[in-house]
Amino acid sequence: MIERLKGLAVRHVKPHLSDDTWARLRGGTDPVRPDLTEIARRTGTDKWGLHFYTPHYERHLAHLRDEEFVLLEIGVGGYARSGQGGGSLRMWRRYFRQAQVVGLDIEDKSFVDRPRMTTVQGDQSDPAVLESIVERFGVPRVVIDDGSHRPEHVKATFDVLFPLLPSGAIYAIEDTQTSYWPEFGGSEDRDSPDTTMGLVKRLVDGLNHEEFLDPDYTATYTDTHVRAVHCYHNLVVLEKGENLEGSNKRSVLRKRYGRASAAER
């Protein structure tokens, strides 16, 4: 009888509870759940194996594992090949048990759609497409750009989506190696401002915008709203949040600012 009741609970109660809640009801400790890398292996995404992104993602996203939120991934995979792609969307859906996972791709990937996992067909550089996704599903807390990897598309997508995100959001850009490949719109000039990494380098400078000495400089939106920039091999993870800590430059650079004050008088 007891075993029968346990079986009924597993079939009819467990599917409606989080793993942690189920473990507490059973009187046990937190269950051992597969990490993101293990889930990536099972779902066949190239975020582990071809690339090694999953440990970095787990470091920055584990706190959201049991939260309800919207995750938007740009690029579903498989290109125009029929019935291919969606490995990373399945990975996110299994890892984040409460999240709505949305995938945007230039090709029709609707075969991937499942409860809590929906694809949208469209161009990542089209503001109307991006804004319609936000209107339909809500503002994402996580955005992952694994789309065309062309700098002009990466920058266009970032310019539209990043200002819409809430404080605490995570914005990731994958496969930044294309910044150095002219065949993908990149440049062999590592100081080129027109590549994805050119954008990232400006964001890193922007972290310290309050230390700039140019009196005519006006802080940009990203200067004041990018809280952290984490750079890994071919992956960049941005944290959104207020970046207005202030500066001690006037007290340290007294001669510089003292002369300026005298000149003004």
pLDDT digits (tens, 9 = 90+) for 1-21: 556 655 665 566 555 555 555
Instruction: Kindly list the domain boundaries of the chain, sorted by start residue.
Output: 1-32, 34-264
The two tokens of residue 80 are 């125009």
Supply the residues annotated as catalytic: 149
pLDDT of residue 81: 83
Residue 249: name the closest of 237, 257, 241 by CA.
257
pLDDT of residue 19: 52
Residues near 136 by beta carbon (within 8 Å), at least 6 away in sequence = 120
CATH 3.40.50.150 corresponds to the domain 34-264: yes
Backbone angles phi, psi at 141, to 5 degrees: -100, -15
Helix axes 36-43, 54-61, angle to 10 degrees: 130
Question: Is the distance from CB of 126 to CB of 105 less than 8 angstroms?
Answer: no
pLDDT of residue 26: 56
pLDDT of residue 263: 44
The H-or-E segment that residue 223 falls in is helix 221-225
The two tokens of residue 262 are 């005298």
pLDDT of residue 25: 54
Strands 235-240, 226-232: parallel, antiparallel or unpaired by DSSP?
A: antiparallel
**C-beta neighbour count of 122 within 10 angstroms:** 16
pLDDT of residue 80: 76
Question: Is the distance from CB of 60 to CB of 143 less than 8 angstroms?
Answer: no
pLDDT of residue 54: 98
Q: Which residues of the chain have pLDDT under 50?
A: 24, 28-30, 260-265
Question: Is the distance from CB of 145 to CB of 165 less than 8 angstroms?
Answer: no
The two tokens of residue 214 are 């140019």
| Calpha distance 139→28 (Å, rounded) | 36
| Calpha distance 75→146 (Å, rounded) | 5
pLDDT of residue 4: 62
